[in-house]
Amino acid sequence: MELMYQIIVSSLVTLLLLSFFMFLIYKIRQFRTNREVRTVYYKSISMIWLGIAMLSFGLNSIVQFGTAVSYLVGIIFIVFGGYNIWYYNKARRKFKGNLPIEEKAWEEFERNKKTSRR
């Protein structure tokens, strides 16, 4: 039983660190792009990873500490993390459909920019 507890806690902490790292990667991508649709697409992905981090933190607090306060805090983090994942996954699907349209408009913009210089 002790080994199972250690495996669960270490996997939740690993998931927490991985999701926070992925959140940072997509946040950096969001700030580095100059296209509007890609900006909100990367924001939605980063917020999904933040939701996963919140969810794993809530589960970790419930598993690791057995007090009533940790259960309350864990449930709050699980609810907010789950809602974050659900809401921003909907947004990600919406903006993913607009990426080809933006790519086509961006190519046309670049083509017009090159021809106007001549």
pLDDT digits (tens, 9 = 90+) for 37-86: 889 999 999 999 999 999 999 999 999 988 999 999 999 999 999 999 99
Q: What is the pLDDT of residue 29?
A: 95
- pLDDT tens digits for range 25-40: 999 999 999 888 889 9
pLDDT of residue 118: 63
Report in angstroms the alpha-carbon separations of 44 from 10, 20, 38, 62: 27, 14, 10, 27
Spatial separation of the C-alpha atoms in residues 42 and 27, rounded to whole Å:
7
